[in-house]
Structures are given as structure tokens and as C-alpha cells.
């Protein structure tokens, strides 16, 4: 199951993107409330692990996160603001570190895009409430009308096709059976999705281990080989953007000390043109020392934080993506850092060597497994390609669940813009057959059928009392 926050419709853009980037073939959204789909919500919450296992990497079944729905007020606000504006931020240096960390994490982490959960993280009733409470928001985001609820929506990412399965209110239709039928029809597709997910996980681990093996410590030899280089010769787009940003920041605060700011801007421009790496570091250190005092931070409008970001970016590009712990209290931060690194290597050199050796062994195992995964993916590709798409398999499973169905095809709108939407609904009950109530056989005397009568109807009995009334009249 794919647990994600749905406290505003705007978050769903990132939830859908997160499921797609996590390698799922599709996303299933239950547009249901407990009042008209209690059987389906009970099944999803009580048989959570079964649904999670049968869908695997094939379908992410969205579960609105109850913890976000009931969290403290400021944290959902952080998530939602970040989501609606698609922000990418670096936390500023102020006292509310928790808030900043949450803000940045909301765009970069699992809190926003969702995470796979094999077992329900909260009690079943909380999950049922979360599904119910999110139904209107999810429907609104995907452009589904109230008249079409209860329903199940499945997005097939590769095909850019969505299938909207309308459910009978208060029916016992099983979503687990629906998912199981889809998985049975797409067995090789599901296996390919699982192998691809494994491949991504192995490559992430491989990247981490390469960084362990290629230790980025700052040795004197590394510093000597790079400190005399011209900064301009090592400039990347990322680094250029940081230095441009610093120049704009200095320009915006020139009124604080016009002469000093102009001196800094001119010196940095000169260093970017033909200065060395070491000269640039020393100039950045000098600026940061001047403005880092707490009483000056407000006056310089966070210039210290901006310079720190430029130093960190320079570390990554020049010294191998490793932020150094420059001690600006020391008269010569570079020499101090070299001494610190050498002492660290002396204390932990043997341990670091052992860790690197273990990392190399694991890398060999990962290489072998990656080769095995790639070979299996190649073997099953013809079988995978021969299977129907996820949308077609879902429609077939809906037919199996609902019996006779009607279908329509429409263009998606709102959150389904760019998708073709197949609407599947149970076939309407056949109209009641016309019953022929005409009289047959021998009829004596005048007769009137009920269908011909207008106004009041009086029934007169023609039995014994009627005959006696005629005799004595």
C-alpha cells in the first residue's frame, strides 16, 4: 500500500509523481466513504497486507495517511505550502530548526510523495476514517463528480490511461479480488516491475558504496594538487549559480557598508576570472568572519548563511563533494583543517580501510546480482510485451467483478489532464417488461380495463345481495 498525505488536493500532484518515480506501473485510488462502501474500506484496512502483497510493484494502492491528517497544525501547513508551490529550499540558520527541517523534508522526503507500507501503520478504524475524509478532495483533484462516487480509479502511467470503476453503493464487491485478477493477468509485467525496483535499489546501494571506497578526505596531496588551480577552470553550472547568487545578495545589501561591499564584489569578480582556488577560499573566509557575529546577522541580512552555501558548493566541486569543517576561529582555517584530517586518519585509518575493503566485497556481490537481474529482465521481456496493458487488464477484471458493464471513453481533466479515461459502470438494470393485462376468453356484458379508468373507482358487487335488492325494488 502507498501511504501518503492527502490533506489538500494540491498534495496529490506529488503523490502521483512519487508513485510513478518509485517504479510502480500504476496508482489505485479508492474514492469511497464508509457510508456507501463499508465492505470495500473494511477489506482494505483489515486485509491490508494481502492487498499490498498481491499488487506488489505493479500497483500502488493509495492510503491517505491518518497521522498527517491528525498531526499538529503547523506541520501539515508546511507540507501543503511546499507542495502547492513546488519549493526546493535550504533551511536557513535560525532558531526554529525543527520547522525548517520539516519544511525542506516535505519536498524532498517520503512525507510528501508517499511510502510503501506492508502492514497498516495505524488501527483499521483510523484508516477507514482517513479514506472517507479524503474522498471528496481526491475526487475533486481527479475531476470525478459526486454522482460517480463510490468508485475506484486506476492510473496506468505508461499508457497515460485511467480506468474509473464505479461501484454499486453498499455492495460486497471485493477490491482484493479485483487486484488479484489484474495481477493474475499481468504476471510477467508484475515480475518485471519487481525486478526493475530491485535494480534501482541495488544501484542506489552501489552509489553509496562507491563513495565509501573513494574516501573524500582532504589530504595535503589533494589540497596541493587543486589549490593552485584557477577557479574559473573548475567552474560548473552549479558553482557558477552559487557565485552569481552571492553577487546579487551583496548588491542587495550594499547600503549597509557601500565601500566594503563594493570591495568584496570586485575581489570576487577578479577571483572568478583568474584567481586560484586557495585565494577564493581565503576571501570567502574573510567575508564570513566579518558578518557571522550574532549581533551583525540581522544587519547583513543572512549574508553569513549565503557565504556558507557558496563555500559548501566549492567544497563539493573542488574537493570531491565533501563539505569541510572549516574552523574560522583559527587564523588559518585551511592549515587547521589539514591537521584535523590527518589526525582523524591516524585515529581511524585502520577502521576506514576495513570499511572500504568490506564495501569493495559488497560491490562485487552487487555487480553479480545486477547482471543476474538484467539477464532475467531480458529473458521475460517477450512474455511481458505479449501481455495486455494495465488499463485493459483492469477493465477486464472490473467486468469479472461487476458482471455486465457499460463503458465510456472521455478525455481526462484536472489531475487527469493528458490521460484518456475509461469509465466502467455496472450495466443498468433491464427495464421492467410490459405486462399484457388484456382480458382473454369469453366475456359477457360490457367491460372496462383498469388502464382505461380515470377518476374515482367504485366497485359494485353483483352477488346475492345485489339480486335481492333488484327483486324487492
3-state secondary structure at position 5: coil
Q: Which of 72-81, 135-144, 284-293, 455-464 is the most confident on average?
A: 135-144
The residue among 323 and 357 whose pLDDT is bigger is: 357
Whether the pLDDT of residue 79 is over 60: the answer is: no
* Sign of CA pseudo-dihedral 278, 280, 284, 287: positive
Instruction: Give the pLDDT confidence score for residue 340 in this predicted structure.
Output: 80
CA distance 44 to 47: 5
Q: How confident is the model at residue 218 (pLDDT cuts 50, 70, 90)?
A: low
State mean pLDDT over 167-174: 94
Instruction: Give the pLDDT confidence score for residue 155 in this predicted structure.
Output: 97
CA distance 227 to 230: 8
Q: How confident is the model at residue 430 (pLDDT cuts 50, 70, 90)?
A: very low
Instruction: Give the pLDDT confidence score for residue 96 in this predicted structure.
Output: 46
**Domain locations in the chain as residue ranges:** 2-186+388-426, 220-323
CA 423 distance to own-chain centroid:
25
Q: Among residues of the chain, what percentage have pLDDT more than 70?
A: 76
For the CA atoms of the chain, what is the radius of gyration? Answer: 35
CA distance 236 to 87: 23
Q: CA distances (Å), 90 to each of 95, 239, 323, in order? A: 15, 16, 15
Whether the Cβ atoms of residue 81 and residue 11 lie closer than 8 Å to each other: no
Which tens digits make up the pLDDT trace of 271-310? 999 999 999 999 999 999 888 876 666 778 788 888 989 9
Amino acid at each position: 500500500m502507498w501511504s501518503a498525505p492527502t490533506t489538500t488536493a494540491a498534495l496529490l500532484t506529488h503523490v502521483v509523481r512519487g508513485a510513478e518515480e518509485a517504479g510502480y506501473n500504476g496508482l489505485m485510488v479508492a474514492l469511497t466513504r464508509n457510508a456507501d462502501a463499508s465492505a470495500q474500506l473494511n477489506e482494505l484496512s483489515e486485509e491490508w497486507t494481502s492487498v499490498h502483497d498481491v499488487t506488489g510493484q505493479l500497483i500502488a494502492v493509495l492510503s491517505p495517511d491518518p497521522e498527517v491528517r491528525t498531526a499538529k497544525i503547523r506541520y501539515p501547513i508546511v507540507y501543503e505550502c511546499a507542495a502547492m508551490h513546488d519549493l526546493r529550499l535550504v533551511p536557513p540558520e535560525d532558531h526554529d530548526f525543527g520547522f525548517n527541517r520539516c519544511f525542506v523534508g516535505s519536498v524532498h522526503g517520503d512525507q510528501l510523495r508517499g511510502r510503501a507500507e506492508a502492514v497498516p501503520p495505524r488501527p483499521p478504524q483510523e484508516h477507514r476514517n482517513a479514506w472517507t475524509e479524503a474522498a471528496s478532495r481526491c475526487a475533486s483533484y481527479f475531476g470525478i463528480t459526486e454522482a460517480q462516487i463510490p468508485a475506484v480509479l486506476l492510473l496506468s502511467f505508461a499508457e497515460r490511461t485511467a480506468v474509473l470503476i464505479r461501484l454499486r453503493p453498499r455492495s460486497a464487491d471485493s477490491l482484493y479480488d479485483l487486484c488479484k485478477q489484474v495481477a493474475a493477468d499481468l504476471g510477467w509485467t508484475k515480475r518485471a516491475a519487481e525486478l526493475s525496483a530491485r535494480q534501482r535499489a541495488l544501484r542506489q546501494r552501489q552509489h553509496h558504496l562507491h563513495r565509501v571506497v573513494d574516501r573524500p578526505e582532504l589530504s595535503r596531496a589533494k589540497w596541493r594538487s587543486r589549490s593552485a588551480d584557477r577557479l574559473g577552470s573548475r567552474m560548473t553550472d552549479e558553482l557558477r549559480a552559487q557565485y552569481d547568487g552571492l553577487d546579487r545578495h551583496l548588491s542587495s545589501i550594499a547600503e549597509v557598508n557601500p565601500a566594503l561591499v563594493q570591495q568584496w564584489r570586485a575581489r570576487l569578480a577578479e577571483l572568478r576570472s583568474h584567481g586560484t582556488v586557495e585565494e577564493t577560499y581565503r576571501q570567502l573566509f574573510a567575508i564570513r568572519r566579518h558578518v557571522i557575529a550574532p549581533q551583525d546577522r540581522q544587519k547583513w541580512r543572512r549574508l553569513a548563511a549565503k557565504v556558507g552555501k557558496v563555500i559548501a558548493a566549492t567544497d563539493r566541486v573542488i574537493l570531491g563533494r565533501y563539505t569541510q569543517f572549516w574552523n574560522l576561529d583559527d587564523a588559518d582555517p585551511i592549515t587547521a583543517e589539514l591537521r584535523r584530517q590527518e589526525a582523524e586518519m591516524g585515529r581511524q585509518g585502520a577502521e576506514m580501510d576495513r570499511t572500504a575493503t568490506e564495501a569493495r566485497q559488497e560491490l562485487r556481490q552487487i555487480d553479480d546480482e545486477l547482471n543476474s537481474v538484467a539477464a532475467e529482465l531480458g529473458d521475460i521481456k517477450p512474455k511481458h510485451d505479449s501481455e495486455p496493458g494495465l488499463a485493459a487488464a483492469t477493465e477486464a477484471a472490473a467486468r469479472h467483478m461487476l458482471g455486465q458493464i457499460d463503458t465510456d471513453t472521455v478525455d481526462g481533466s484536472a489531475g487527469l489532464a493528458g490521460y484518456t479515461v475509461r469509465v466502467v459502470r455496472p450495466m443498468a438494470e433491464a427495464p421492467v417488461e410490459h405486462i399484457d393485462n388484456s382480458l382473454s376468453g369469453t366475456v359477457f356484458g360490457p367491460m372496462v380495463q383498469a388502464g382505461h379508468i380515470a377518476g374515482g373507482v367504485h366497485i359494485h358487487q353483483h352477488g346475492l345481495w345485489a339480486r335481492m335488492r333488484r327483486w324487492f325494488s
